[in-house]
Amino acid sequence: MYAQLVETGLKEVQAAADMTAEEREFQARIDADIKIEPKDWMPDAYRRTLIRQIQQHAHSEIVGMLPEGNWITRAPSLQRKAILMAKVQDEAGHGLYLYCAAETLGVSRDQMIADLHAGKSKYSSIFNYPTLTWADIGTIGWLVDGAAIMNQIPLCRCSFGPYARAMVRVCKEESFHQRQGFDIMLTLCRGTAAQKALAQDALNRWWWPSLMMFGPSDATSVHSAQSARWKIKLLSNDELRQRFVDQTAPQADFLGLRIPDDKLAWNEARGHYDFGDIDWDEFNEVIKGHGPCNRDRMRTRTKAWEDGAWVREAATAHEAKRAARDAREAA
């Protein structure tokens, strides 16, 4: 998802017998659905895992602005430009809510940004694909934001208070993103044959990367099992992916678009859609930094950060000067 393959640093799920008294008390609070707040005692592994997870999530929101920002000046009407700008601004806001939540765990903003730029901290694989046509903007809103909602709604109930509260805010805003995407698709699909072909082409390119967003099956993953016990991962990758396919397939039908998967079919007995195999080699390559846009995304982010350095320094210097003047006048 927006946080993929988050490691807990543990080799096995901790059993009650191996826990200290503090750890047992901590787990009991989580089991009782009592939120953990920043000043509460927490195991180091819980803190470190959450920092990794929230940080990845925040980076994804920030890097996620790039493929869409790319289309602001080229959106087909003034209204579409204004809508896309509002959407991209929301993504910046989501990144900021999440960075704040991570900071309550004791990591600094500068450190997180340095880790992203150094390649030490990841962001979602999905943002390493290019946005070639206007239909890609529709598809991102419809599929990528749709997948994000699927993941984020359960996280509103996660055990860490600041993360859960950030997710509540994000979810309230995310629905606009998905609908604006679907509206673009609907407009294209009701347009000329060439416009509909654009929509189909975008779906062809984004479908599989969207399914990969949920990450590989984690049924046997120690990290996922431990994160589930800590209630910072509420549903498995496969459960979320299945929900996403079940929800999206009928929407594609409505648009009159074909999902590029020959094995996609409704399974009456399961009450779910069956779907084909995902190319995990592609996913692993993208995660390792070899996707179509990885280098470009990091170059753009790093440049923005470095180009903005003088502004940050000037604002700090200005405030220091003002404080010194106030102190002189008060004396």
Q: Which residues pair with 272 in a beta bridge?
A: 267
Of 92 and 265, nearer to another protein (C-beta) is 92
Compute the least distance from the CB of residue 101 to another protein, in Å. Answer: 8
For residue 4, what are its two tokens? 């993929």
Residue closer to another protein, measured from CB, 173 or 246: 173
CB of 103 to another protein, least distance (A): 7
Q: Rounded to whole angstroms, how far apart are CA atoms 320 and 259?
A: 58
Summarize as ranges the residues that interact with another protein (CB under 8 A).
37, 39-41, 86, 89-90, 93, 96-97, 100, 103, 108-110, 165-166, 169, 172-173, 309, 312-313, 315-316, 318-319, 322
**Residue closer to another protein (CB basis): 62 or 249:** 62
Instruction: Pick between residue 82 and residue 315 the one whose CB is nearest to another protein.
Output: 315
Instruction: Report the nearest approach of another protein to the CB of residue 171 (Å).
Output: 13
Residue whose entry in the numeric block shows the structure tokens 């009701």:
190
Least distance between another protein and beta carbon 6 (Å): 23
* Least distance CB 265 / another protein (angstroms): 40
Q: How far is the CB of 88 from another protein (least distance, A)?
A: 12
Name which of 93 and 154 has its Cβ closer to another protein: 93
Select 83 or 245, whichever has its Cβ closest to another protein.
83
Cα-flanking dihedrals φ and ψ of residue 159, to 5°? -75, -20
CB nearer another protein, residue 97 or residue 275: 97
Per residue, the 3-state secondary structure of the chain, as one string, reads CCCCCCCCCCCCCCCHHHCCHHHHHHHHHHHCCCCECCCCCCCHHHHHHHHHHHHHHHHHHHHCHHHHHCCCCCCCCHHHHHHHHHHHHHHHHHHHHHHHHHHCCCCCHHHHHHHHHCCCCCCCHHHHCCCCCHHHHHHHHHHHHHHHHHHHHHHCCCCEHHHHHHHHHHHHHHHHHHHHHHHHHHHHHCCCHHHHHHHHHHHHHHHHHHHHCCCCCCCCCHHHHHHHHCCCCCCCHHHHHHHHHHHHHHHHHHHCCCCCCCCCEEECCCCEEECCCCCHHHHHHHHHHHCCCHHHHHHHHHHHHHHCHHHHHHHHHHHHHHHHHHHHHHC
Report the residue number, 75 or 113, with the smaller CB distance to another protein: 113
Least Cβ distance, residue 162 to another protein (angstroms): 8
* Smallest distance, another protein to C-beta of residue 184, A: 21
